[in-house]
Structure 1
Amino acid sequence: MKKIKATILATSILSLLNICAIQSVHASQQIADLISSQLNVKYEVVDNQAGANGVNCSALGADWASCNNVMISIKNTGTAINNKDWAIYFDNIRMILAVDNDQFKITHITGDLHKLEPTEKFTGFPANTTVNIPIIGEYWIVSESDVMPRWYVTSSDAKPKIIANTNTDSDNLSAFVAPIKQQWKRTADDQNILMTPANRFEYNADINKLSELSLRGQILPTPSKLTIGKEDVTIDQQGVNLILNGLNQESLAILQDQFKALNIAVTGKGYQIKATIDPKQFEQGKVGSYQLDIKNDKTLITAYDEAGIFYAIQSILSIIPVNHSNSIPMLNAVDSPRFVYRGIMLDIGRNFKSKQAILSLLDQMAKYKMNKFHFHLSDDEGWRIQIPGLPELTDIGSKRCHDLSEQNCLLPQLGSGPDSNTSGSGFLSRNDYIEIVKYAKARFIEVIPEIDMPAHARAAIVSMEARYKRLINEGKEQQANEYRLVDPTDTSNTTTVQFYNRLSYLNPCLDSSKRFVNKVIDEIAKMHIEAGQPLNTWHFGGDEAKNIRLGAGYQDLQVKDKSDTKGTIDQSIEDHPWAKSQTCQTFVSKGKVKDIEHLPSYFAQQVSTIIKDHGINHMQAWQDGMKHAENAKSFAVDKVTVNFWDTLYWGGFDSVNEWTNKGYQVIISNPDYVYLDMPYEVNPKESGYYWATRFNDERKIFSFAPNNLPQNAETSVDRDGNSFTAKGTMNWPGAYGLSAQIWTEDIRSDNKMQYMAFPRLLAVAERSWHQGDWEMAYQKDRQYQQGETHYVDSKALHDDWNRFANLLGQRELAKLDLASINYRLPIPGAKIVNGKLNANIVFPGLNIEYSTNNGKDWKRYSDPVAINKDDTIFVRSISPDQKRTSRIEQLN
């Protein structure tokens, strides 16, 4: 009887506890639901030069004593909320140094993820009232895109809910980000010019519209030699007959589809385009070279190889406008590529990109004769490729969600929010990747996969830790340790560039790390074999394996002579990566490496042996990953190539020479010229990171001299808009290639990726294929500076740019429309002169529209037009297919 009563009592208690738990969860969910729907967030930049206005940025520990002042305002639009059981998580790309409201505290979680929660002094969110939370953050916020969406609220065990006015898939963050107006300068010494309609008008003033006749027969990218005849060849209704001897069927089918897209039939009876492969006709023997002779009765192509045939046809397609494709000019072209490597790097680690978007990018690369697709497949924020045998990499490492234990996913970053249904999550299956490689191969593009290591490896590390715990729980200790990437003895206190801790650094001293690398290379190499493009180049990554707190912008709080321009911190508690790993300390004590800082380069050498063992004889890396190796011969493979990414104005114009002089092949990848995640122009509405430059527009990229880096000091400025001097002090044998980069921290959608890439990528293609007549040969010890030296033929550069700009405006943008590319439409320049609206555009031929009634009606601009003095004028450009418009701006 006692047992029965005890059982009944226990059951009753459990039932009561379950009811209480359910009620508790229900109450927590009510709080989360209420806060997410009732609170509105406003994020406003108050001061980007806080250090000059009374804030002691140095004492707060800000790098280079640079800090900003931001106001976070939270408006309660409903009834009072007094409950303290809540936390708001949000992504802030700047480290938060101080909070000036004692009712709240902000905790850094990892990366850019922060938590805002109430303190004991919290008095609630009163009804229909705004609460202000001033914060001090590191560095600056001069672009509205710096602010990340999808702030979300949690409460005990409740399901996280996104705060409604921050929930957007769009790049328009105006629902909660206040416009940045007067705070667009980083420092008082910032001499950049804010791009307004009036300033744009002056910037575009030297660009004039060229006649259709003067653009006739112009090929992009520009051939080595081009002679244009006076007559045209009519392509009648029978279309073209492609007789391309030696070209594979997959590539032939692509070319046929390209003609059909221009409404040109491909038949056996049309105008003949005949090609043959004859490498003996080409002295230099460059892959992709061709001779093209368009005559009245037929077109003859002689090519060095299959790629040469493909590129020759691209040249024919290039001269055919979208709207009138019934004739082509007679011409003769002799052409070969400037660089062996003409590439683009796409990062899908930070934010995933769809397979279709990647294939579309490959299509455009092929049209403009780019041939290397550097595929950044992993980073701290995501692992993006399926690896058989290691399911955790995609089951966990490819997903971001609110899981503080990170057993199911990585924590949210970069505005991905609490759920796994945004661009923060996603991966390519094995079949997806094989399809991409096949697609690239048919377009004569080599896919170069990058698995970044030993830094930027957090997604892999967290995934392999989850694997370790799973197998340990199953009693499989040996298997658990097989691919573990961290040393459990390592307690190093480190901070990465993106504010992660030691779990961002794969341990280079573990045999299990090498086994992991071997496994990943082996599986990806198999995919390449199946795709018919054997893996010829492996990209190691190698960048930024350091603790930023030990950088030059900080000083120890014990230093006697402190600098006001450095952040003051306790550096005694800071460690270099792996400094407290017992395994790595053994490496140092046994002399395997000179010191801990040499480990990244040591690991690169170890990986080169693994690469070689897989029959891959070409290794690529970011140059800082190799800095402690003696030279290129320190590696097991025959060829070592570096992506050189030093900014020019910080010495990159000369440090580039060190790499070629050590035997490395150098791919010019400078962020201040060819990073396509930087803004197009100096304007807070223009998105993009700006640590290297405030703008990379088409004109700047077109004017870039990649094979004579000092020359660029004469034609461009530094990040702050100031001139700089540049002189090469060493011999320079020349670059191996040129590569554009698309990092995707604030590029969340496929459309945004296309917006940031196009049409800038066309300028990169031009410079990688063709050397302008205005580009100077490198000359050791020759110094350049804007306004001081005049070595560059400025007229030749201007005329070349004017031609290119006209080709984009009058021809190429229409082709991007045809391919459904969401390229950036430039905003017109405009100003009022003597009561008339004057407007211009960077790409002549692109239509300009204006409104005098707040955008209700739009009129086409052609010539200066009289405007009433009381009218408010707005301007925009419109795409050739009339389907899209640029950002709208008001004349002041």
Structure 2
Amino acid sequence: MNDILSLKRAALVILLLVSSGTVCFSQSRKSDFAYKMQVKKAGMVKPVCTFVLRNTGSEALPAAGWAIYFNSIKDPKIEEGDTSFYQVSHINGDLYRLHPGKKFIPLLPGKQMSIDIYQQFLKNVSDFPAGFYLVWDKNPSKGYPIKNTDPGFTSLIPEEQQISQQIFEQNEIVLSNRSLSSVKIFPTPLKYSEKGFTYKMKGGVGIISDPAFHNEATLLASDLLTLFGLKSPVLPSGSGPAIVLKKMPMAADAYKLEIDKERVVISASSSTGIFYGIQSLKTLLPPDSWKGKHSSLDVPAVAAEDAPRFGHRAIMLDVARNFQTKQQVLKVIDLMALYKLNILHFHLIDDEGWRVEVKDLPELTQVGAVRGHRTNSSDYLPPSHGSGADINKLPGSGFYSREDFIEILKYANERHIQVIPEIETPGHARAAIKAMEARYRRLMKTGFKAEAEKYLLTDLSDKSVYKSVQGWNDNVINVALPSVYTFMEKVIGEFVRMYKEAGAPLVTIHMGGDEVPAGVWENSGAVSKLTSTDKSVKGPEDLWKYFFTRVNSILSSYNLQMSGWEEIGLRKVTEGGKKRMVVDTSMVKYNFRTDVWNNLIGTGAEDLAYRLANAGYKVVLSNVTNMYFDFASDQSFKEPGMYWGGYVGAEKPFYFIPYNYFRNFKEDDLGNPVDPSVFEEKERLTEAGRANIIGLQAALWSETITTPQRLEYMLLPKLLSLAERAWAADPAWATDPDPAVSEKLYRLAWSDFLTNLWDRELPRLDYYHRGFSYRIPAPGVILKNGRVLANAESPKLTIRYTIDGTEPNAGSPLYKDGVSSKGTILFKAFNAAGRSGNTVKIINK
């Protein structure tokens, strides 16, 4: 695929049909708003997003006095010749303003106008603008939402058919290697054998538990009550049928599971090991166990021994860009617990939101947790990521009260999940910056200057000019200010107190540290003052080390370790007149924990994780190429998600090889094959470095995630691949020196994994803890000898089709062995619960 997908080569128009939404111009005026995307030829083919404004009212839309605001991930441009009629202005971040120019002609009743906006890289549905609202100049503080602008999408472009054909071919390989999965515990245990008979689990079965495992016994009893509707007593001893939680010496997180005809015995030395054994027992249950109440359930009698491969098995959940409720976070914790993931990296703070209450700094949530439209943008944050004008609307606005956050901590701790909070600094900090500026203004009005400046995060006289990757020009903390460290002390102390109240462990706080743009701190009086008094700081570039050294001192005073993105272990140097980042070995002594995401080909960072580990840093592998779950699963135009670092479906985390990820590179960020020679000069992981790889982490950034359903769609089934790779032993295909043998072993392993996925785990998730809206892949479709053939990733998925242009549904004809009908044919895959994935369209001429 080239950079603008295939749109450059497609002589087709892609319409995004939008159901009519109305905006009141006055009591008698209203209009519809829509947009479509098309390809126009003007010397070269450009991707175009066309805004369509239709006047369905009785009065003309005037030539001036109004503007339409919207968010766009891409930078929209008006074609030069059109700017006298209408203009697009960048406000800040991803917020833009469309307004009439001097030659704009009033839009008469019954008429419509089209405004062509050129955008670079329109590759999928997530690229389109969102969050439209109208503002009148006479009432500039009020935004009127323009509703129903989600695009309806139909398309037929050659690349869509090519993608569908590729999926068909991939499915053929999987299906040809399919076998019944022999292991019913998930993730795959170290040792597993079946005894050839079943244990009949019944309601009210007693749980005989060592006193050290009371919490785990209580959680198990709750699960059994859900399954059977009968309470299971927790007992210190007893005979006869029972589930026994037994303490015996073994590795800290290891467990043994033994099931015979009358008893289930789970043994471990720790409560964590017992908990993991219980989760394995739950995955042995029939997949539909959680659908309703049962009188009994048949469980295979097995013997298993198990322990995790990595001690750090993490999901990074971003609730700052777009908020998720406490209930949804608890549901994610339930999911993580079932699959033995043990770290929730909680991204609570970013430019677009501060999501946790700090009682003594109310502006952090009064200002920093609220997004919406106002003339005075200091009241709260502007709309981002399509959140719209309304300040009371999820997911733009929202936060966890102190009590909410403590509840989340308790819930996670009970399920052996450690929550690592992230305080994003010094970049990505606009929400905190604007909150503390609001506090400053409030207190200055009362004359309390010293108190007003106490937590200020910006030098108000700073003339530095910069622009972040996300488009912000005011999102970086000025680390030369003493008040910054007073603020950090206050916030870190509050987190420590909340964890203590929750009885939850706090070992590390993630301090962010990524994407500070060029230009910051260069024209700041506060920086000049610091450089004149502290000779270790010679200029803006030295402020990086200065900041993290001081913050680390605060953390150390609470016996906490610092975590951060990879930049906390790097420093900027100038070589050959060019600046680049290198590993800063002087910071290794602080025992920083680095989450390393950048391994993109061509950036020079392909081996960065290994260089940091070899230098002595503790490293969590968060590789963008395999572990960014907010990325689209494939290159289909209808597949939502980001793609700037490539495409990440369920297979990418599955085939990730932690100790030699050069070997698992199959494609670059554009989907093109990778030449292994690009890694020849890259640094390999040493034995000492290997010991510093502490685990794996998937990242779920939320720019395109606006609902709980979309969160679950992007998370699943990718999370199951992460769980397998982080827990299970190093697979044979990852280390076999013979490429042909390795490939054969891999195909068998991937097919076996998908069998378990679709036969057991995803059907389980249709009902487990209220059910999860996991992604159902589109079928593969191919045109061959005049017939249309289709297949799905698993025989457990059914394919239905239509030949009349209507969307396939549960009542549509069932695909069997090919379709010979001519014309337009639509296909969809359905799971056993009746949910479906994206539609595939093909024309059989």
**Where on the TM-score scale, by shorter chain, does this alignment land: which range?**
0.7 to 0.9
Instruction: Provide the residue aligned with 2:218 in structure 1.
Output: 253
Instruction: Provide the residue aligned with 1:414 in structure 2.
Output: 385
What is the TM-score normalised by the length of structure 1?
A: 0.82
Which of residues 6, 31, 35 in structure 2 aligns to 1:42?
A: 35
- The 1:407–1:595 alpha-carbon spacing in structure 2 relative to 1, beyond 3 Å, is closer
Equivalent position SS for 2:131: coil
Q: How does 1:717-728 map to 2 (within 5 A)?
A: 717-725=668-676, 726-727=679-680, 728=682
Instruction: Provide the residue aligned with 1:797 in structure 2.
Output: 746
Q: In 2, distance between residues paired with 1:831 and 1:696? A: 23
Give the deviation of 1:635 after TM superposition: 5.4
Q: In 2, distance between residues paired with 1:859 and 1:331? A: 41
Equivalent position SS for 2:562: strand
Which of residues 427, 436, 452 in structure 1 aligns to 2:408?
A: 436
Q: Which deviates more, 523-532 or 399-408? A: 399-408
Give the deviation of 1:68 after TM superposition: 5.1
Equivalent position SS for 1:740: strand
Residues 155-208 of structure 1: CA deviation (Å, up to 9, x unaligned) = 1243634453x446xxxx215xx6676597xxxxxxxx8665443221211122
The answer on 1:218 being equivalent to 2:200 is no
Mapped contact 1:88–1:117 kept (Cα < 8 A): yes
Q: In 2, distance between residues paired with 1:839 and 1:130? A: 41
- The 1:382–1:866 alpha-carbon spacing in structure 2 relative to 1, beyond 3 Å, is closer
Give the letter for the 1:891 counterpart.
I
- The 1:45–1:461 alpha-carbon spacing in structure 2 relative to 1, beyond 3 Å, is farther
Which of residues 512, 515, 520 in structure 2 aligns to 1:544?
A: 515
Equivalent position SS for 1:124: coil
Which of residues 616, 625, 632 in structure 2 aligns to 1:679?
A: 632
Give the deviation of 1:209 after TM superposition: 8.1
Instruction: Provide the residue aligned with 2:243 in structure 1.
Output: 273
What is the TM-score normalised by the length of structure 2?
A: 0.87
Give the deviation of 1:471 after TM superposition: 0.5
Q: In 2, distance between residues paired with 1:637 and 1:355? A: 38
Give the deviation of 1:829 after TM superposition: 2.0
Q: In 2, distance between residues paired with 1:390 and 1:634? A: 35
Q: In 2, distance between residues paired with 1:527 and 1:108? A: 40
Instruction: Provide the residue aligned with 1:320 in structure 2.
Output: 285
- Residue identity over aligned pairs, in percent, reads 32
The answer on 1:809 being equivalent to 2:758 is yes
Give the deviation of 1:430 after TM superposition: 0.2
- The 1:432–1:857 alpha-carbon spacing in structure 2 relative to 1, beyond 3 Å, is closer
Instruction: Provide the residue aligned with 1:116 in structure 2.
Output: 98
Give the letter for the 2:430 counterpart.
R
Which of residues 391, 411, 419 in structure 1 aligns to 2:362?
A: 391
Residues 681-709 of structure 1: CA deviation (Å, up to 9, x unaligned) = 1111111111100x211122211112211
Q: How does 1:694-705 map to 2 (within 5 A)?
A: 695-705=647-657
Instruction: Provide the residue aligned with 1:206 in structure 2.
Output: 173
Instruction: Provide the residue aligned with 2:711 in structure 1.
Output: 753
Q: In 2, distance between residues paired with 1:824 and 1:350? A: 22
Mapped contact 1:380–1:459 kept (Cα < 8 A): yes
- The 1:843–1:674 alpha-carbon spacing in structure 2 relative to 1, beyond 3 Å, is farther
Q: How many residues are matched?
A: 784
Give the deviation of 1:837 after TM superposition: 5.6
Superposition CA RMSD, Å:
2.9
Q: In 2, distance between residues paired with 1:417 and 1:270? A: 61
Give the letter for the 2:528 counterpart.
Q
Give the letter for the 2:93 counterpart.
G
Instruction: Provide the residue aligned with 2:335 in structure 1.
Output: 364
Q: How does 1:478-877 map to 2 (within 5 A)?
A: 478-501=450-473, 503-547=474-518, 576-589=519-532, 590-616=534-560, 618-628=561-571, 634=586, 639-650=591-602, 651-693=604-646, 695-713=647-665, 715-725=666-676, 726-727=679-680, 728-732=682-686, 733-734=689-690, 735-776=693-734, 790=739, 793-819=742-768, 820-831=771-782, 838-853=789-804, 854-855=806-807, 858=810, 864-865=816-817, 867-870=819-822, 872-877=824-829
Residues 513-553 of structure 1: CA deviation (Å, up to 9, x unaligned) = 11111111111111100110132110000010113xxxxxx
Q: In 1, distance between residues paired with 2:208 and 2:177? A: 35
Mapped contact 1:774–1:792 kept (Cα < 8 A): no
Q: Which deviates more, 445-454 or 818-827? A: 818-827
Give the letter for the 1:143 counterpart.
N
- The 1:301–1:858 alpha-carbon spacing in structure 2 relative to 1, beyond 3 Å, is closer
Give the deviation of 1:70 after TM superposition: 3.7
Equivalent position SS for 1:821: coil
Q: In 2, distance between residues paired with 1:470 and 1:792? A: 69
Residues 240-280 of structure 1: CA deviation (Å, up to 9, x unaligned) = 4322324443332222233344448563587322232333x
Mapped contact 1:241–1:270 kept (Cα < 8 A): no
Give the gaps of 5 or more residues in structure 1: 1-28, 56-66, 185-192, 548-575, 783-788
Mapped contact 2:213–2:245 kept (Cα < 8 A): no
Mapped contact 1:836–1:865 kept (Cα < 8 A): no
Mapped contact 2:454–2:483 kept (Cα < 8 A): yes
Instruction: Provide the residue aligned with 2:17 in structure 1.
Output: none
Which of residues 802, 810, 830 in structure 2 aligns to 1:878?
A: 830
Q: In 2, distance between residues paired with 1:183 and 1:521? A: 54
Give the letter for the 2:840 counterpart.
E
Give the letter for the 1:642 counterpart.
T
Give the deviation of 1:408 after TM superposition: 1.9
Give the deviation of 1:831 after TM superposition: 3.9
- The 1:266–1:468 alpha-carbon spacing in structure 2 relative to 1, beyond 3 Å, is same
Give the deviation of 1:455 after TM superposition: 0.3
Q: In 1, distance between residues paired with 2:71 and 2:759? A: 42
Instruction: Provide the residue aligned with 1:12 in structure 2.
Output: none
Mapped contact 1:45–1:180 kept (Cα < 8 A): no
Give the gaps of 5 or more residues in structure 2: 1-22, 234-238, 290-295, 573-581
Which of residues 318, 326, 333 in structure 2 aligns to 1:355?
A: 326
Equivalent position SS for 1:326: strand
Instruction: Provide the residue aligned with 1:95 in structure 2.
Output: 75
Which of residues 25, 28, 36 in structure 2 aligns to 1:31?
A: 25
Q: In 2, distance between residues paired with 1:194 and 1:543? A: 39
Instruction: Provide the residue aligned with 2:308 in structure 1.
Output: 337
Give the deviation of 1:627 after TM superposition: 0.9
Instruction: Provide the residue aligned with 1:72 in structure 2.
Output: 51
Give the deviation of 1:755 after TM superposition: 1.0
- The 1:862–1:131 alpha-carbon spacing in structure 2 relative to 1, beyond 3 Å, is closer
- The 1:162–1:538 alpha-carbon spacing in structure 2 relative to 1, beyond 3 Å, is same
Give the deviation of 1:622 after TM superposition: 0.4
Q: In 2, distance between residues paired with 1:211 and 1:496? A: 48
Give the letter for the 2:198 counterpart.
D
Mapped contact 1:145–1:688 kept (Cα < 8 A): yes
Q: Which deviates more, 682-691 or 153-162? A: 153-162
Instruction: Provide the residue aligned with 1:105 in structure 2.
Output: 87
Equivalent position SS for 1:329: strand
Give the deviation of 1:631 after TM superposition: 7.1
Equivalent position SS for 2:198: strand
Mapped contact 2:717–2:775 kept (Cα < 8 A): yes
Q: In 2, distance between residues paired with 1:342 and 1:115? A: 42
Give the deviation of 1:488 after TM superposition: 1.7
Instruction: Provide the residue aligned with 1:141 in structure 2.
Output: 122
Residues 836-880 of structure 1: CA deviation (Å, up to 9, x unaligned) = 664322234233333344347645887734645236432222233
Equivalent position SS for 1:455: coil
